[in-house]
């Protein structure tokens, strides 16, 4: 029993035990919190890709063609491949972006760059006209995006009119950078903590689909 006027205090051992328990709880909770944060970002990406998809469909209805795909091979622009078309901002379908970005739709998993865009049809290489962009499309697209496929240059006969995507939580992961990404579903993001791209695409009739 404590005597009057004497304050109770933790011993050093008790403090160490409490600190150890807190550390264990934190180690259990942090992965769950990180996973929840990643899932929230993925939901946001899907919502933003949906808006971009609507803009692309409106552009197609007004112009009867896809906006051009931009590809750069210059070393200073190598990371700017397949950025969103500036035409979407110039014609009012998307808000204008800062210098270096055609539209104000930054990929939250790839800061400093827009979401990616590709489509069979017009292509600009290093800012100049180039042969039509060749989009690889799976044989059973648009419903089955796995397996073999072939290249298309004409959006009117291609099973997929356009595709837009985020590089996902791990932009340089093996899945994200694999051959035929983002068109093959093998490259798609599927679980927290894993790599892969987050995708939205349209068939030749304008019906839109998205990755899980």
Q: Is 4 part of any domain?
A: no
Model confidence pLDDT, tens digit, residues 31-87: 655 678 999 999 999 999 999 999 999 999 999 999 999 987 754 445 678 999 999
pLDDT at 34: 61
Q: Which of 44, 45, 55 is nearest to 85 (CA)?
A: 55
Q: Is 3 part of any domain?
A: no
Q: Is 114 part of any domain?
A: yes
Burial class (CB in 10 A: 0-12, 13-18, 19+), 57: middle
Q: Is 28 part of any domain?
A: yes
Give me the mean pLDDT over the 121-131 stretch.
90
| HSE-up of residue 66 (Cα within 13 Å, Cβ side) | 33
The kind and range of the H/E element at 164 are strand 160-166
pLDDT at 156: 87
Chain-centre distance for alpha carbon 49: 8
155/7: higher pLDDT: 155
pLDDT at 127: 79
> Total domain count for the chain?
1
pLDDT at 102: 63
Q: Is 7 part of any domain?
A: no
pLDDT at 104: 72
pLDDT at 181: 95
DSSP for 81-143, written as a single string: TTBPPTHHHHTTSSPPPSTT-SSS-B-TTSTTSBPEEE-SEEEEETTEEEEEEPEEEETTTTT
The kind and range of the H/E element at 16 are helix 12-63
pLDDT at 2 over 50: no
The confidence band for 148, taking pLDDT boundaries of 50, 70 and 90, is very high
CA angle (52, 108, 199) in 5-degree steps: 50
pLDDT at 159 over 50: yes
pLDDT at 128 over 60: yes
Residue 187, domain extent? 12-210
Model confidence pLDDT, tens digit, residues 167-188: 999 999 999 999 999 999 999 9
The confidence band for 162, taking pLDDT boundaries of 50, 70 and 90, is very high
Q: From the CB of residue 107, how many other CB atoms can be counted at a distance below 10 Å?
A: 22
Q: Is 40 part of any domain?
A: yes
Measured between alpha carbons, how far is 174 from 72 in angstroms, rounded to an integer?
22
Least confident of 15-24, 25-34, 131-140: 25-34
């Amino acid at each position: 029993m404590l005597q009057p006027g004497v304050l109770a205090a933790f011993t050093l051992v008790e403090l160490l035990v409490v600190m150890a328990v807190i550390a264990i709880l934190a180690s259990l909770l942090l992965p769950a919190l990180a996973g929840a944060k990643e899932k929230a970002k993925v939901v946001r990406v899907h919502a933003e890709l949906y808006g971009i998809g609507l803009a692309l469909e409106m552009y197609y209805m007004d112009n009867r063609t896809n906006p051009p795909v931009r590809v750069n091979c210059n070393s200073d622009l190598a990371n700017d491949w397949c950025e969103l078309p500036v035409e979407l901002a110039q014609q009012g379908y998307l808000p204008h972006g800062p210098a270096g970005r055609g539209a104000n739709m930054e990929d939250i998993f790839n800061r400093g760059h827009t979401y990616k865009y590709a489509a069979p049809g017009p292509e600009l290489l290093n800012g100049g006209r180039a042969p039509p962009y060749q989009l690889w499309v799976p044989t059973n697209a648009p419903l089955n995006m796995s397996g073999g496929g072939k290249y298309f240059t004409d959006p009117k006969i291609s099973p997929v009119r356009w595709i837009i995507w985020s590089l996902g939580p791990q932009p340089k992961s093996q899945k994200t950078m694999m051959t035929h990404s983002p068109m093959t579903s093998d490259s798609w993001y599927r679980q927290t903590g894993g790599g892969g791209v987050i995708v939205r695409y349209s068939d030749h009739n304008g019906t839109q689909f998205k990755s899980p």
